[in-house]
Amino acid sequence: MNTTPGIVTRFAPSPNGHLHLGHAFSAIYAHDLAKTAGGRFLLRIEDIDGPRSRPEHADEFRRDLEWLGLEWEEVPAQSTRLESYRDAADTLLELGMAYRCSCTRKEIEALDPRTGEDGVIYPGACKGRCPTGEEPAALRLDVDKAMTELGELIWTDEQAGSVIADPREFGDVVIVRKDLPASYHLAATLDDAADEVTVVTRGSDLFAATHVHRILQELLELPLPHYHHHNLLIDDDGRKLAKRRGSPALASRRERGEDGLVLAEQLRLQQKLSGT
């Protein structure tokens, strides 16, 4: 494993539900990677999902991580960083690499678009033609233009090695949502740079998102971290564990009196067995 002194990793949960085993797996992975190299492990609460983001979930996350025996430094939550997202969005507009889009989901679906990593791939119907008036608009990245101008971009992943950034499976991805000051892609990319994260660790389900993040880094002149997209914990039916499917919450296991340190050791063993 490629660990260097000065390594900074992070766990960046969204407080819109409980943490489950998959989150514990991911947090322990990031924690141990940093701590065994004498580095720093950060906690960043990604709370810009409007009313779905709730502070009580973030409090619960802290109790869960403590229960698992992890030690972290908490960096400012995303809701305190909106200014930096606005500035970056303005920069992308000034560079001509982003455009406003007020199309509704229905309008886009009526064009019979392909689906990709983030759902339907925007078919470019209104590219640059949506009115610039008062109505709510999202901001989309002009992916073709960015790719043409930037040329080949590489990023490295611990398991996959050198990867050529290819964000086409996202189409002109939304970087500022109609209802929010950023999208996950823009906020996470900016914050990883601001927090000086040197190794971004997250589940392999987010592998493809890194193609988009790589483009944003280049356009916004941000440093390039190393990536570890780790294997996912799967449930007994072979499906990814997720909050939505009601996988057991860490909080309920904790409240039932289960030993979090023992659970953390079991997850470390699973990481070894799965070659993560």
Active site positions, annotated: 243
Binding span for ligand GLU by CB under 6 A among 8-16, 136-144, 226-234, 242-250: 8-16
Closest CB to ligand GLU among 61 and 99?
61
Q: Is 9 in the site for ligand GLU (CB under 6 A)?
A: no
Residue 199 parent element (H or E): strand 199-203
Binding span for ligand GLU by CB under 6 A among 7-15, 224-232, 251-259, 263-271: 7-15
Q: How far is the CB of 11 from ligand GLU (least distance, A)?
A: 7
How much of the chain is helix, strand and coil, in % rounded to 5?
Answer: 40, 15, 40
Q: How far is the CB of 71 from ligand GLU (least distance, A)?
A: 19
φ/ψ of 244, rounded to 5, equals -60, -35
Q: Is 188 in the site for ligand GLU (CB under 6 A)?
A: yes
Closest CB to ligand GLU among 43 and 89?
43
Q: Is 14 in the site for ligand GLU (CB under 6 A)?
A: yes
Residue at token pair 């000034």: 94
Residues 198-217 vs ligand GLU: string with x where CB under 6 A? ----x---x-----------
CA–CA separation, 144 and 262 (whole Å): 49
152 within 8 A of 164, measured Cβ to Cβ: yes
Q: Is 22 in the site for ligand GLU (CB under 6 A)?
A: no
Q: Is 267 in the site for ligand GLU (CB under 6 A)?
A: no
65 within 8 A of 72, measured Cβ to Cβ: yes
Closest CB to ligand GLU among 46 and 60?
46
Closest CB to ligand GLU among 11 and 99?
11
CA–CA separation, 160 and 163 (whole Å): 7
Q: Cα separations (Å) of 6 from 3, 35, 193, 224?
A: 9, 10, 15, 15
Binding span for ligand GLU by CB under 6 A among 6-14, 58-66, 128-136, 172-180: 6-14
Computed over its alpha carbons, how large is the radius of gyration of the chain? 19
Q: Which of 15, 21, 33, 46 binds ligand GLU (CB under 6 A)?
A: 46
Beta bridge partner(s), residue 139: 100, 176
Q: How far is the CB of 206 from ligand GLU (least distance, A)?
A: 6
Residue 233: count of CB within 10 angstroms of its CB: 21
Beta bridge partner(s), residue 200: 227
CA–CA separation, 236 and 274 (whole Å): 15
Q: Is 13 in the site for ligand GLU (CB under 6 A)?
A: yes
User: What is the crossing angle of helices 143-150 and 209-219, to 10°?
Assistant: 60
CA–CA separation, 42 and 10 (whole Å): 4
Count, residues near ligand GLU per rule CB under 6 A: 7
Closest CB to ligand GLU among 123 and 248?
248
Binding span for ligand GLU by CB under 6 A among 9-17, 32-40, 221-229, 244-252: 9-17
Interface residues toward ligand GLU, by CB under 6 A: 12-14, 46, 188, 202, 206
